[in-house]
Structure 1
Amino acid sequence: MSDVQLKDKVVLVTGAGLGLGGTIAQAMARQGASLVICDIDMVALHATQAAVEALGAQCLALACDVSDSAAVDQMFDQAGQRFGTVDVLVNNAARVPNTPAEAERRNRHYAYMTTPMPRQALGIVASLSDEDWLKWWGVNMHGVFFCTRAALRFMVPQKSGRIINIASIAGLGANSLHSPGYSATKAGVINLTKTTALDVAGANVYVNAVACGGVLTPDFEVYLESTTEAQVNRLYQMVPSGRLGRPEEYANVAVFLAAQDHYLVGQVISPNGGFVI
């Protein structure tokens, strides 16, 4: 793609401090966009800001907990004051399963799916506490809604906009049964993508989702380093491509949805190495 695909466009990326969000922000900058980025980890966010500005892009970095609707509205107000509008929203911020208990459930799930053993209940859903369930909704679901609502206040009147929701294959089926709360919120993001898309397509605002497979983020690298070789092999055995996706591969899909003329409305694009076909 040309390096001017997003010239004069303003792109807001949530959860842009580490991993996929930071990679998406840099990919948008390479295409000529001005960036608004947010996170709750300001050290990581400033690292992304430095990387974006090194590419020659303007960048406004803001602390924002997207589960707080007032904080989200303030962030979009600041974006409007700095750049006048928001043309593209990438709803990337999300809580992910990365605690030791979640790693144990993941390993148990992968062993069950890849090793011959008697069929039985895994005891995952029955063992979840209220906290295990409720912790996912604030960022993963409410945050996507709050940011979408705020972005539409710019996009609908100007009759132009792109919203890209970073979902997961966990929301497409039971591929992440080790984390039912995460899976449920990502399924919610996919349905919110479709209903919002139908609502606003007539205003030339196109809303789509990227349902990522495994992403080789720093968090996932920590998980892989903490497990045995057999456990890592079980994971890769489940993916036809035999590997996890690089953040840059997912970022390229987000850039396409943001920068290219297309006829995609309410669609779920799933780069996943063949894990879900």
Structure 2
Amino acid sequence: MELSGRIALVTGAGPGLGRACAVALAAAGATVAICDVNETALTAAREAIEAHGRECLAIRCDVSSSTEVRTMFERVAERFGTVHALVNNAALTPSRESDTARRNKHYAYMSTPMPRQSLGFTREISDEEWHRYWDVNVHGVFYCTREALKLMEPQHDGKIINIASVAGLSDLSAHSPHYSATKGAVIAFTKSVAAEVAGANIFVNAMAPGGVATPEFNSYLDDIGEEGRNRLWQHCPLGRLGTVEEYASLVVYLAGAHYLIGQVISPNGGAVI
């Protein structure tokens, strides 16, 4: 129980990777606070954490609102006294029907001999869609980090783990340039803040996952059939997605004792080496 006595806050912890991170932190001994906008998923995540015998505070919070984020941190501090580890996981991902169409077009283009051309993705993104991604994926990370540092700097102790993406490191998500841009911004923000606060014994790092085997992504793989899956695996030498538990184990490590400052670690099955 290496995180015994530590207080961790995980954003976007209702479903998928966020829930797995919160459960893994609890299993490692941490007391966990979680937030999400999906209250049904939030309740299920709280119950999964409490099944490990750990106390959990579940708060509905939209991280794109600085007011809601401030209130959330006030509630966590009131309940547990402080925050030792923050996992900035809450994010919008390309999951709409239009996103799937772009993804399929991109994978086919990258794995099928055909004339080179523009795929026409960026010109179709609306102002609303662009700002929607930045509000959650970038502004939310900033709002939560700002509030966490107000607690961590006085105590001279803290770990911040930003969940970026391989999309911010490469062209593997060229089908969603708005998403890629926000994850690249998270990586740059991670490095800048890490250099700023390291002298206060606060460790800021990022995990940049490749494909994550969430129920949603597995459903997508079922829908595209064997040929579509084989197109996808052309970009991943391991030939499979990473499980949420595999990714969560790295988050637990980054929340514990180590010597990493401003690093971007990308478990991705060899997609980017």
TM-score by length of structure 2 reads 0.98
The aligned counterpart of 2:269 is: 273
Return the alpha-carbon distance in structure 1 between the equivalents of residues 127 and 73 of structure 2. 32
What is the match of residue 23 of structure 2?
Answer: 26
State how far apart, in whole Å, the 1-side matches of 2:229 and 2:133 are: 26
- Counterpart of 1:210? 207
SS of residue in 2 equivalent to 1:11: strand
Give the AA of the match of 2:70: D
Alignment of structure 1 residues 37-76 onto 2, 5 Å: 37-76=34-73
Q: Taking every aligned residue pair, what percent have the same amino acid on both sides?
A: 57
Deviation at 1:10, TM superposition (A): 0.3
Measure the CA separation in 1 of the matches of 2:125 and 2:248.
33
TM-score, normalising length from structure 1?
0.97
Does the CA-based 8 Å contact 1:98-1:223 persist in structure 2? no
Q: Counterpart in 2 of 1:9?
A: 6
The Cα shift of 1:269 comes to 0.3
Q: Match for residue 255 of structure 1?
A: 252
Alignment of 1:1-277 (within 5 A): 4-259=1-256, 261-277=257-273
CA contact (8 A) 1:109 1:177 kept: yes
Q: Secondary structure at the match of 1:136?
A: helix
The residue type paired with residue 50 of structure 2 is E
* 1:204-251 residue CA offsets vs partner (Å, 9 max, x unmatched): 000000000000112212322332321121111210000000000000
Mapped partners of 2:125, 2:259: distance in 1: 41
What code does the residue aligned with 1:103 have?
A: T
SS at 1:145 equivalent: helix
- What's the Cα RMSD here? 0.8
The whole-number CA distance in structure 2 between the counterparts of 1:79 and 1:267 is: 27
Amino acid aligned to 2:125: L
Contact 1:155 1:161 in 2 (8 A): yes
Q: Which runs of 4+ in 1 moved over 4 A?
A: none
Distance 2:132 2:44 in 1: 27
User: How far apart, in 1, do the equivalents of 2:11 and 2:93 lie?
Assistant: 14
**One-letter amino acid of the counterpart of residue 269, structure 1:** I
State the number of aligned residues: 273
Distance between the aligned counterparts of 1:91 and 1:8, measured in 2? 20
- Structure 1, unmatched stretches of 5+, are none
What is the CA–CA distance in structure 2 between the aligned matches of 1:63 and 1:28, rounded to whole Å?
A: 20
1:61 aligns to what SS in structure 2? strand
